[in-house]
Homo-oligomer: A and B are copies of this chain.
Amino acid sequence: MKSAIGIDVGGTFIKGGRVGREGIIGATVQVPTGAEHGPEAVIKNIIEVIRSLGMNEEQTGVGIGMPGLVSLDHDTVKYPPNFSGWTVVPLAARIRAAIGFPCIVDNDANCAAIGEAAFGAGREIPDFIFATLGTGVGGGIIINGEVYRGETGAAGEIGHTTIDYRGPQCNCGSFGCVETYVGNRYFCARVEAALATRTDSMLHAMLKEDTGGMSPELVARAAAAGDAFSAQQLYDAGYALGVGLANAMALLDIHTVIVGGGVAQAGELLFAGTRRAITQFSQKPMAEAFRLLPATLGNTAGILGAARLTMGIKR
């Protein structure tokens, strides 16, 4: 049976797996990315993951998902954020030369969107908007079962659309981006600032017990345990996401939204705010047609979508 290798290059880990028609075959493999050691180290680590998954004559090739701007020919990766010394690297060509198999690259959020389209919450759904909530807020647009990539491959940046032009400055240089409300770091900073005046929140006690410090997961646990302050913080973040999604829906006339990533694990604690915002910021037919689906593949979406890139199968 035909299979392909999918590689998901994150800021911390490179994950890989062999993917067949029905999903991941066998165990996945994970090594530290080594992003701080420059592109040569990352390329070496990617090759190590591919080799440890094994190569065989029947595989269609290797697909790689990576942060940053990926060229329209799926070959070059430009300026991935938090990758030291990485300018413009012909990643696919380098991997191809090393392993002797076809290789193709796409943006990591696009790969996760393709994964959900092919194997997850987006099966049977020709058009949807995908958002993945992590340190950053990534996005992808699926039209007619395929990623819409735009003029240079940068389309779908829902995390960097503005919902308040007088809002806080984002790491990207712009202001009031969706990411400044929902991205992990911004969300945690917001919660910490607000917590100072809320001595009644059980988050204070949980923070003392938890060695990991503030995190969306901790806030979600507090909210699930009945902490009103934490619930409000998640609701507000979900609401901000909803304003950005309403904008994307108005432009694209796409009614289905699939949301994945760490913060999305909070589920309805987050999504209640999102639904409310969609109702307030969309015109009626759009608000009525709207449906929000949680992503179903978790952190394997990137591996699955990257592999799918090489399989030449629409869906």
Question: A residues bordering B, Cβ < 8 Å?
Answer: 69, 127, 139, 141, 148-158, 160-166, 172-176, 240, 243, 246-248, 250-255, 277, 280-286, 289
User: In whole angstroms, how far apart are the Cα atoms of A141 and B282 in the complex?
Assistant: 19
Residues of chain B within 8 A (CB-CB) of A165 are 163-164, 240, 243, 277, 281
Of the residues B152, B253, B283, contact of A172 by C-beta under 8 Å:
B283
User: In whole angstroms, how far apart are the Cα atoms of A164 and B281 in the complex?
Assistant: 11
Residues of chain B within 8 A (CB-CB) of A282 are 174
Copies of this chain in its oligomeric complex: 2
A149 in contact with B250 given A163-B162, A283-B173, A284-B173 (CB within 8 Å) = no
Residues of chain B within 8 A (CB-CB) of A150 are 127, 252-254
Residue of B nearest to A161 (CB): B247
Q: Which of A69, A149, A161, A165 has the most CB of B within 10 A?
A: A165
The smallest C-beta distance from A10 to any residue of chain B, in angstroms, reads 21
Of the residues B154, B166, B175, B250, contact of A286 by C-beta under 8 Å:
B154
Residues of chain B within 8 A (CB-CB) of A155 are 251-253
Residues of chain B within 8 A (CB-CB) of A158 are 250-251
